[in-house]
Amino acid sequence: MTNQLPPMPDTPPFVASKPTVTRRRDLIVAAAVAGALAIGGAVYWIARPSYDDIVRGCQRALVAQYEADGRGRPSACDGVKGDDYDALVLNAALGNLGRLDDDGTFDKDKMLEGTLDQP
């Protein structure tokens, strides 16, 4: 029995990578991708107009349409619900007829004056 090692081969042996290194790298990449998606989603969500902003834009479009004697539903009102759109049309029509106060509320006295003026 001898203490000599066997002869070394000409090509180096294959060294397998440690599984913990690749697992850790995969987790870091997955966390970075998830963080980037979360930040992108938050920016997109914050940049979108709220429903109130859409309604205000529709209201301005309806007032401009009444002033220009236009017809139909403006494209700014596409995201507005049906009942809200009906209320906005009525509000714009009453404002066009002069039946609203400066703050946009209905004035009964103006309504009565308007009915008394007509034959």
Is the alpha carbon torsion for 23, 26, 32, 37 positive or negative? negative
Q: CA torsion angle for 98, 101, 107, 112 (degrees, to 10)?
A: -30
Structure-token pair, residue 67? 């002033």
pLDDT of the residue at 83: 87
pLDDT in tens, the chain (119 residues): 667 777 666 666 666 666 667 788 899 999 999 999 999 999 999 998 888 888 888 988 888 888 787 777 888 888 888 888 888 888 887 766 666 666 556 555 555 555 444 44
Structure-token pair, residue 42? 């938050």
| Per-residue CA distances from 14 to 8, 10, 98 (Å) | 13, 12, 89
- The residues spanned by each domain of the chain are 18-48, 51-117
pLDDT of the residue at 113: 56
Single-letter amino acid code for the residue at 74: P
